[in-house]
Amino acid sequence: MRPITNIEDLRVLAERRVPRMFYDYADAGSWTESTYRANEEDFQQIKFRQRVAVDLNNRTTRSTMVGQDVAMPVALAPTGLTGMQHADGEILAARAAEKFGVPFTLSTMSICAIEDIAAHTSAPFWFQLYVMKDRVFIEKLIERAKAARCSALVLTLDLQVLGQRHKDIVNGMSAPPKLTVKNMLNLMTKPRWCWNMLQTPRRQFGNIVGHATSVSDLSSLSAWTSQQFDPSLSWDDVEWIKKRWGGKLIIKGIMEVEDARRCVDSGADALIVSNHGGRQLDGAPSSISALPPIVDAVGSRIEVHMDGGVRSGQDVVRALALGAKGVYIGRPFLYGLGAMGEQGVTRCLEIIRNELDLTMAFCGLRDVRAIDRSIILPPRAPD
């Protein structure tokens, strides 16, 4: 096999190994995918200032996110259906993150349950919560996350209504996937993936099935979830959830200064500048372009994190230079998982840390916490 040198290599391998409907589910953006593309492209506009003849011994990428020590300020983003990229995907990714010393965030919409992750890891992980209409269900999920000793709750606010991805519609993708003849044929083109799935005990949407008040089996799950995202979600709900949770709270899906100020008022510990990886509002700006005004407005009062389009350690440095205290990766670790399971997630993290460390060094820094705007050039005025 060709050596894996960057995240793109993992993406290509994942595309080869994961059935089309699940690869597309992970990779796609909504509608025209313009925001999805901008997330990646806008990083490339940010140029570094190279420094020389600086002592570069004893470098460190260690930092903190919401007060927790991290080997580098990069967390695995919550991603639904991760177990469809590779059998037991959530457990494998959580293990890789634990060994590496970075946070893993389990999605509400994961295949493995909160308890499965707790049983297979020893480091505390983070839990991501969607606000569903069924508040009893939300309360139960919060209690389960507490019982599993989750050390932060990531509350996603940008999914009151569901974005539309054309590729999912064309592929007949749903949660849970329906076993149509077309889908079965699609799965059979990837025998290695099928073999892995057959080898692994069935775990299916363990956060929801049997726990939500009206979901007792998989057939009712799809109908239940699609009508459960709450269009009436408000900042009062954030306050209600914060009270019930009582621990570190990170609010995800913030793109505007006004909403960032509401996060500060809510008493959250951090916010994530995020457009859901270009999967919700197509036509929104890239996350990296939305970051600086938010940092300027609230950065001294709340930790500002970001995600969307990070494809290298260089992008991590760019985000930190623009004031992010931490960065999340979604698709990069999913590609790693689809390509090579746990080993692929580890490889993804190694690649990012190595690029982060070297870029920091080329910019004349030894400590990731010292990265600031002075290491990048000001944006060029248009000609």
Cα–Cα distance for residue pair 44/259, rounded to 1 Å? 27
Q: Which of 73, 78, 103, 344 lies at the binding interface for ligand FNR (CB under 6 A)?
A: 78
How many Å apart are CA 16 and CA 18, to the nearest integer?
A: 6
Q: Pick one of 323, 330, 336, 344: the residue that binds ligand FNR (CB under 6 A).
A: 330
- Count the helices and strands in the chain (H runs, E runs): 15, 10
Measure Cα distances from 142 to 11, 207, 288 in Å.
Answer: 34, 11, 31
- Whichever of 109 and 321 has its CB closer to ligand FNR, that residue is 109
Nearer to ligand FNR, 228 or 365 (CB): 228
Can residue 323 be called a binding residue for ligand FNR (CB under 6 A)? no
CA distance linking residue 306 with residue 291, whole number of Å: 7
Q: Which of 46, 145, 320, 329 binds ligand FNR (CB under 6 A)?
A: 329
Size of the site for ligand FNR (CB under 6 A): 23
| Candidate list 177, 206, 277, 344; residue touching ligand FNR; CB under 6 A | 277
Q: Decide if residue 39 touches ligand FNR (CB under 6 A).
A: yes
Pattern 97-136, ligand FNR, x by CB under 6 A: ----------x-x------------------x--------
The verdict on 308 binding ligand FNR (CB under 6 A) reads yes
Q: Is 176 exposed, middle or buried (0-12, 13-18, 19+ CB in 10 A)?
A: middle
**Which residue numbers belong to the known binding site for FMN?**
78-80, 107, 128, 130, 156, 252, 274, 307-311, 330-331
For the chain, report the end-to-end CA distance as a whole number of angstroms. 45
Active-site residue, 276 included: yes
- Any residues with CB less than 8 A from the CB of 68 and at least 6 apart, and which? 103, 151, 152, 248
Residue 228: Cβ within 10 Å count: 18
Q: Which residues are catalytic?
A: 276
Residues near ligand FNR (CB under 6 A): 25-26, 39, 77-80, 107, 109, 128, 156, 252, 274, 276-277, 279, 307-310, 329-331
